[in-house]
Amino acid sequence: MNVIIEELHSRGHDVTVLCPSDIWYIKVDSPHYKAITVNSSAGFNRQNFKSYIINTVNMRRYGSSFWSRLSLEYDRLQMFYQVGKELLEMVEDIFDDKELMQSLFDGKYDLVLTDPSVGGGVFLSHRLGLPLVLNVRWTIQGEGHKAIAPFPLSYSPIPRSELTDKMTFMQRVKNFLYYIFTCFQIWYIVEPNYKPFVHRHFGKDVHYMELFQ
């Protein structure tokens, strides 16, 4: 995201970054953009992320038991559930801040550039009626291609399964099991938080994934 912002700035574009008060990977004082800090937490705990990355790398490097990997996956689910919950609370605060929202409307921005692995920027762009640009193809629902194109599991490997588009029967079974786990993650992390939020702000006939599509 930072690389994209710097490139936009170098081409003469004015960029505004909206960020929470507990941000640790964005500098508030930058020559490349103006920052608007929201007095809310987005749930991105630096220590939790650091521990998760270190444990994941160690397991990949030295190997691990099935139960160790399962424990790590459970910790990851808990972490991302909390991130999703706190992030939507922050977006709720933004929507309720009439002065901030009016300033964003008055800014007459051309588009919203956002990371779709969390939904805050997606929802803000729809509230502001602005075009949406995603900086990666990964969404809260997983691999972005699944949201817009056919995704036959016999030929399309689930991310993190380490498979290719040419699979044996047992590899296809493995891919299907990864898919089931992905569905469980969505049910556990995304549905309880995103569904009621979207119904509250965009109508009960709107599914949150439609906004990403």
Q: What value does the mean pLDDT take over residues 120-133? A: 94
- Contact between 26 and 17 (Cβ < 8 Å): yes
Confidence (pLDDT) at 22: 78
Inter-CA distances, 124 with 16, 100, 130, Å: 14, 12, 9
Confidence (pLDDT) at 93: 92
In the structure, what pLDDT confidence band is assigned to residue 145 with cuts at 50, 70 and 90? confident
Q: What value does the mean pLDDT take over residues 157-184? A: 89
- Listed in sequence order, the residues at least 6 apart from 40 whose beta carbon sits closer than 8 Å to its beta carbon are 20, 21, 86, 89, 90, 93, 94
In the structure, what pLDDT confidence band is assigned to residue 57 with cuts at 50, 70 and 90? confident
Distance from C-alpha of 62 to C-alpha of 56, rounded to nearest angstrom: 10
Distance from C-alpha of 95 to C-alpha of 78, rounded to nearest angstrom: 26
Distance from C-alpha of 21 to C-alpha of 63, rounded to nearest angstrom: 38
Element (H, E) at 125: helix 120-128
Distance from C-alpha of 30 to C-alpha of 39, rounded to nearest angstrom: 19
